[in-house]
Structure 1
């Protein structure tokens, strides 16, 4: 039985400060928001964040990649504390889509009282990246998928909805030409009020034609102020060890152009705490504009993934929105610790591969995770995104109710390239003993093994340092912890664009299972 109990994510506050920059004197207005932003506001791997306001509440969502449930929806009344209230697709992928579940973008139609979510996914039949849309009567409601809207030959991604001055709705998206070494136009095309059909012909707004933009522009967010449509956009490489992502802005008096780019671009670049910042959404809070974007924290780099960062926009004297570019990492690690006893169901932070029909039971005896040979021979996976570079993952396993191989692992990929198959490294109970292992390219390597005749309950622990160095320990009932002499380095397993996942696995036949009594994550 799959049960979701909604958990509160403790997120952060908002503000900015005055300062003169070489790009021009910044005109900063007074505001009544808190002075310091506690970033990341969405800790862990939360790429391509979107945020909208409905009444007095804000809603956000982020990319899911290949991990279900797809497209989480968070709610906040003040952009400071967020509650996970829903998933767009809680039961798995739409029938037409197979992978690359990216870049959700929320939109609210006040007249209809409906919320729409545009998203990217790869079509099973054409293998093209496609822009699709789903809708619901409320952010916490059941979403109906309306399927793909556009799927160009080189791929269509990163949709954004905006109304023009006549009230007509347009969808903006990026043509993924960089995947073929070609330019990346940003297109706009009118859509009907039901968001089921594009109308007329697409119009190109702008493309990557400045040296700093390198091989692409993408992730557009549009808002109207000072008689202009402003579009923030990202450029460069977003998602690997060599990322150089940055953010720029353009403006136009008319939605369909002509568009001019800010001569001081980029407006958001690396600072001491955050790298490769971009692909966010601009939202207004009172008289001020803020952008929720993703970035790698300097300490965690690609091992943690792209976290959600909030920063206030400020205005130059010639009416360009820019950033102070001084976001810091200020979240206390203890605020993101985690424990699940599984008595009341499965916490909604747990994820599984979108390709797997995950099977489990929960109750007073904990979690019974059904085994499989799926996921590149790693078995059934229940994982979460990592939220810091130094943490411990601990679980107690009831051996009397366990007949499959199982334990704890760090899930990454066979390499740092786009589309690489998943891989993992961890500690397992198996055959009456404990194993340290690595699984890559469907091949398992046993790094170390200790025979010990396991029975009753045993606790196992995986300690991660600097995001990729792994240590292991175990404890029998009534006995102290014992450490393995062996350590492992998982840096070669860091995946493209999503950071490591950590969690539990059960490997074996479908009629077998592993009984996890409880699992905790302690961040250091």
Structure 2
């Protein structure tokens, strides 16, 4: 039943950067950089950003977590306006992997004319976090998965590819020892030119051994300048309400070490607008270096998730790259409003749980979403990330073509712990009327009901304030908006490692359908 047609979607992103991992730069060959940065450059929940340049075009990707399609690819000709043009895995997870789809790292092999996408996922058979890789002849083409490269006992995550001075390719990654209360070494191991097999033995570059690094180091990005390999890295807790993530830097004359950590670490910490900043890619534009990293904005915090922030690096007199920590939140909320009528296919921003075989059709009659009892009993979900703390989500439903319960909702998790099951709060329409509900731990709590006859086209609306206060209203055909009295507090549903998702649902037997005519999101 699925009908996937993805029109281009523009995301306004202002930056100008270029990845040159492991290569020396000749400053006479580049033009001075002139950039006006409007942050977040990647609004919404966009963790672990990576960027490469292929010819005159730039491509970026971010973490997907448990939401398919997996690993979006954005394209830009100027690093200021972006289009979502592809996914590494548009149809869902590779056969070997089950969840924790984190930290994509794009790499371009110009000699081969191929794109490599490293990523992290959890292996079904071993249950280990694994570093894997896929490849394609084009960033907008089909990717072939090559499967896991390394899966250590405690887990292997956050791959990064770099060439040493002799031209050998190495993959760097973090051993996830913090999951067992152990140190977290950063490893490097040679890989073959086809990126299908690691060779030789892994070499430890460095580990968390300084007080400010707390329980881990991870998210390495390496570049070459001033005769040194520089490695930015993150430390602390990244992804929950109590996050204390920060970024440091180390350097070495040789890729395999010995590595020296900067005495002034951390080089990137909280400022007035952003906190828990880290896990990014270092980029060069002209004579200047920038880092594209993720951070929580002070206004949206964990409710929006980790957004993509661009900031310029500066240099100390003794050749260490540092930040001025001056990134601000300057994006206008209206720039990221959204509307979908489903006539030309499903907008590529929509996501579904990677565990569900989502079924739907699109066309002149809008979206026909097949119902289910999946996703912790919330039904079939089509959602996308939030991009601000104050917004309206509104859907129009044709009740004459719907025989399942459907509406709009906010999706989070049962608690803020790692791996917690999803949960949600929303408004449902059915032949029996309307109800506000909370679904948590597969148990439904009815918050308020209205027994009304629903025919023809109706609209349901969820208004969100401060990121977590939810109000609801509905409008029947030829009617006016009628509000519910109940205001729901969703703050207890913030998930670990991602912001809230919002969107549509269809709940009931798989033979039933909800007909959505249009859905829009207005950010305030």
**TM-score in terms of structure 2 length:** 0.96
Question: For 1:291-311, what per-residue CA distance to the aligned partner results, in whole angstroms no more than 9, with x for missing partners?
Answer: 110000000000000000011
Superposed CA offset, 1:231-290 (max 9, x none): 000000000000000000000000000000010000000000001000000111122111
Residue deviations 1:179-224, cap 9 Å, x none? Answer: 0000000000000000000000000000000100000000000000
Deviation at 1:12, TM superposition (A): 1.7
Report if the CA contact (8 A) 1:118-1:131 is conserved.
Answer: yes
Aligned to 1:61: 61
Give, in whole Å, the separation in 2 of the partners of 1:108 and 1:451.
58
Q: Report the 3-state secondary structure (helix = DSSP H, G, I; strand = E; otherwise coil) of the residue aligned with 1:486.
A: coil
Q: Give 1:278's aligned residue.
A: 278
Q: 1:3 aligns with which of 2, 5, 8?
A: 5
Tell me what 1:425 maps to. Answer: 425
1:360-439 equivalence runs, <5 A:
360-439=360-439
Equivalent residue runs for 1:63-462 within 5 Å: 63-462=63-462
For 1:359 and 1:87, the matched residues in 2 are separated by: 19
CA–CA separation in structure 1 for the residues paired with 2:290 and 2:76: 15
Q: Kindly tell me: are residues 14 and 109 of structure 1, through their superposed partners in 2, closer, same or farther at Cα, counting changes over 3 Å?
A: closer
Using the alignment, how far apart are the partners of 1:13 and 1:102 within structure 2? Answer: 23
Q: How far, CA to CA, are the matches of 2:127 and 2:164 in structure 1?
A: 32
Task: Provide Cα deviations, 1:362-409, integer angstroms capped at 9, x if missing partner.
Answer: 111110100000000000000000000000000110000000011000
Work out the CA distance in 2 between the residues paired with 1:203 and 1:217: 16
Cross-structure match for 2:498:
498
SS state at 1:335 partner:
helix
Task: Write out the 4+ residue segments of structure 1 that deviate beyond 2 Å after TM superposition.
Answer: 29-32
Q: Could you say what secondary structure the match of 2:303 adopts?
A: helix
Match of 1:21 in 2: none
Deviation at 1:432, TM superposition (A): 2.7
Q: What SS is found at the alignment partner of 2:486?
A: strand
Q: Does the aligned pair in 2 maintain the 1:14–1:311 contact within 8 Å?
A: no
Whether the 8 Å contact between 1:162 and 1:171 is mirrored in structure 2 is: yes
Alignment partners' CA distance in 2, 1:58 and 1:519:
30
1:81-102 per-position Cα deviation (integer Å, ceiling 9, x unaligned)? 1111110000110000000000
Partners of 2:33 and 2:288 within 8 A in 1: no
Hey, what's the Cα distance between the residues in 1 that align with 2:285 and 2:345? 36
State the SS of the aligned residue for 2:349: coil
Query: What residue is the counterpart of 1:33 in the other structure?
Result: 34
Aligned residue for 1:182, secondary structure, equals coil
Give, in whole Å, the separation in 1 of the partners of 2:193 and 2:102.
Answer: 24
Question: What's the CA shift for 1:6?
Answer: 2.2
RMSD between aligned residues: 1.1
Q: Do the aligned residues in 1 keep the contact of 2:435 with 2:450 (CA within 8 Å)?
A: yes
Secondary structure of 2:498's match?
A: coil
Task: Give the 3 Å change call, closer, same or farther, for CA 30–329 of structure 1 in structure 2.
Answer: farther
Distance of 2:204 and 2:265 partners within structure 1: 20
Q: Secondary structure at the match of 1:485?
A: coil
SS of the residue aligned with 2:484? strand
Mapped to 2, the partners of 1:78 and 1:248 lie a distance apart of: 29
SS in 1 for 2:400: helix
Per the alignment, residue 27 of structure 2 pairs with: none
**1:234–1:247 Cα contact (<8 Å) kept:** yes
Q: CA deviation at 1:79?
A: 1.8
Point out where structure 2 has 5 or more consecutive residues left out of the alignment.
18-29
The within-5 A match list for 1:36-47 is 36-47=36-47
C-alpha distance in 1 between matches for 2:60 and 2:140: 12
Secondary structure at the aligned position of 1:334 is classed as helix
For residue 303 of structure 1, give the secondary structure of its aligned residue in structure 2. Answer: helix
Contact 1:14 1:38 in 2 (8 A): no
- Shift, 1:3, TM fit: 2.0
Q: What TM-score does the superposition give when structure 1 sets the normalisation length? A: 0.96
Offset from partner CA, 1:154-184 (integer Å, 9 cap, x none): 0000000000000000000000000000000
- Of 8, 12, 15 in structure 1, the residue corresponding to residue 14 of structure 2 is 12
Quote the offset at 1:7 in angstroms.
1.1
Q: In structure 1, how many angstroms separate the alpha carbons of the residues matched to 2:61 and 2:283?
A: 13
In structure 2, how many angstroms separate the alpha carbons of the residues matched to 1:516 and 1:312?
44
Q: Is contact 2:33-2:287 (8 Å) kept?
A: no
Query: Following the alignment from structure 1 to structure 2, what is the Cα–Cα distance between the partners of residues 6 and 76?
Result: 12
- Tell me which residue corresponds to 1:484: 484
Q: Shift of the alpha carbon at 1:55? A: 2.0
Alignment size in residue pairs = 510
Contact map agreement 1:70 1:92 (CA 8 A) in 2: yes
- In structure 2, C-alpha distance between the alignment counterparts of 1:115 and 1:95, rounded to whole Å: 21
Aligned equivalent of 1:23: none
Aligned to 1:20: none
Q: Which runs of 5+ in 1 are unaligned?
A: 16-28
Q: Is the 8 A contact 1:133 1:149 kept in 2?
A: yes
